[in-house]
Structure 1
């Protein structure tokens, strides 16, 4: 299979993709520049990520942010259903998902928390997982038909996300995002290469810097500048995977002018240096869809 899965090829027919796989062999570690939800069904296997190796259990769901990498080892009839979302679409037409507390926690907050390396794991339970897997199987069929059913596929996605939201612990979801936090995130996402300072962000939303910092920790789980670092790392992923720019220029393009600092921060957030990440994200054989 390819060692990278790119948005451009995967989402040619829309911002959603789904696939059902039964794994009985090793899947080499690979990276991608989109959001992936992997729902685990029956079978056995070990999941390998930048956070280490973890034995998989029926009923788990793994969320990977852009830049996260993963692979599978010691698989024996392991059922894995993948539901993939375009990162660009999640910032635009699918952005309303952010307003659902349980999904905000699972897709945004937990995978960007310190030490997460872009990976979050939640437990749905076998019954809920089987229901989500069936919807992803139907989603795959909707998108692979001669005339893809985009509207029906969107409905399947909503159902899958609903299953994840219902299976999450309500009190762990956190309060709705404060308007000042949402406005600050929008500013950073619109111009991640800007030399943002906490004072600048606070002034733009007419708040005391310390208070804005506390709001970020309460609603996002990290400080404003740590959240900016994650945004920059995810944008760097796009450039490393989709361009031939030297790593130093990639760092400068996302706001990290010092190549050494860029390499260190990128490794902290992704688990690989920019050079190592690019080595994993060169297509093998030109494939652009999962073949697990």
Structure 2
């Protein structure tokens, strides 16, 4: 059963969390309210998500949006290097990462695409994976240092993401232009008030664009329509509320903009892979899921 790993308990005020783990026991499926990037190194194991189980390969990269869940089974000396980004920081000091086209695809477009349930799995060359794992190990060291080094941490993070993006993006994608200002303005409006009953016409009017054109811009830069983006945003906010609060599921749905409990349950399951009740039950049924913050004992 998935546990929920909570941002406030793990990050200790830092925007980044990192660690290299050598897994032998199973890691129970777990959800969390931050973004996770897991780079797979040597060893054997199977990955568990809402899509089922599949063998892991050296060089695979798993990206999970907040609210998504996964786990590991049948692990035998499996190396997994985690680089986790605070959801709060992604809306503040790390927001600039979304302005870099090749990182935007890695961190946002792929894991929010239709049917992914917030989980994207891609692959890089094994040598690139080992390079990224080595950098994540150095990032872990810097995070655990007695003296805070925010500049060095940010530099390590960008290096890790750059290695992974270089291993999977084409030249054309790398040089794609930055997010269109109308898309950025609309995203900010939706993130500020996701529970508002937004209509495409209203969003388009606010940025002085034709609704159809705004829709095309969203698909180009985000991979979703504006209302598809809103649905994913609501699902991520709902997942956090389900894990953190005692609000009844119906009130959680209303809090994010889905007033009809039946519709909320249907949309949440389509986007996350579990009903709201299942997500809450599983998120509270297990312990720490075997992963650790810097300075804590690691699974082995």
Same-fold call, TM > 0.5?
Answer: yes
CA offset at residue 38 of structure 1? Answer: 0.0
Residue 143 (str. 1) matches residue 156 (str. 2): no
Q: Structure 1: state its 5+ residue gaps.
A: none
Aligned residue in 1 for 2:203: 201
The secondary structure found in structure 2 opposite 1:132 is helix
Q: What are the within-5 Å matches in structure 2 for residues 241-252 of structure 1?
A: 241-252=243-254
Structure 2 distance, partners of 1:84, 1:133, is: 13
Structure 2 distance, partners of 1:252, 1:238, is: 14
Give deviations 1:23-49, integer Å, cap 9, x for gaps. Answer: 112111110010000000001111111
CA offset at residue 104 of structure 1? Answer: 0.3
The secondary structure found in structure 1 opposite 2:216 is helix
Structure 2 distance, partners of 1:216, 1:154, is: 28
Structure 1 distance, partners of 2:37, 2:179, is: 23
Give deviations 1:159-208, integer Å, cap 9, x for gaps. Answer: 11111222122334654322111111110011000000001100000111
Structure 1 distance, partners of 2:38, 2:220, is: 27
Give deviations 1:127-158, integer Å, cap 9, x for gaps. Answer: 11111111111222222244444433222212
Q: What are the within-5 Å matches in structure 2 for residues 277-292 of structure 1?
A: 277-282=279-284, 284=286, 290=292, 292=299
CA offset at residue 274 of structure 1? Answer: 0.8
Residue 97 (str. 1) matches residue 89 (str. 2): no
Worse overlay, 2-11 or 242-251:
2-11
CA offset at residue 253 of structure 1? Answer: 0.5
User: What is the TM-score when the length of structure 2 is the normalising length?
Assistant: 0.92
Structure 2 distance, partners of 1:34, 1:249, is: 22
Q: What are the within-5 Å matches in structure 2 for residues 10-25 of structure 1?
A: 10-25=10-25
Residue 215 (str. 1) matches residue 241 (str. 2): no
Paired positions, count: 292
Aligned residue in 1 for 2:295: none
Cα pair 1:112 1:118 within 8 Å, conserved: yes
Aligned residue in 1 for 2:69: 69
Cα pair 2:65 2:118 within 8 Å, conserved: yes
Worse overlay, 86-95 or 141-150:
141-150
Worse overlay, 280-289 or 67-76:
280-289
Q: What are the within-5 Å matches in structure 2 for residues 1-292 of structure 1?
A: 3-170=3-170, 171-172=172-173, 174-282=176-284, 284=286, 290=292, 292=299
Worse overlay, 256-265 or 2-11:
2-11
Say what the alpha-carbon RMSD is for the aligned residues: 1.9
Give deviations 1:252-284, integer Å, cap 9, x for gaps. Answer: 000000111101100000001111111122274
Cα pair 2:27 2:290 within 8 Å, conserved: no
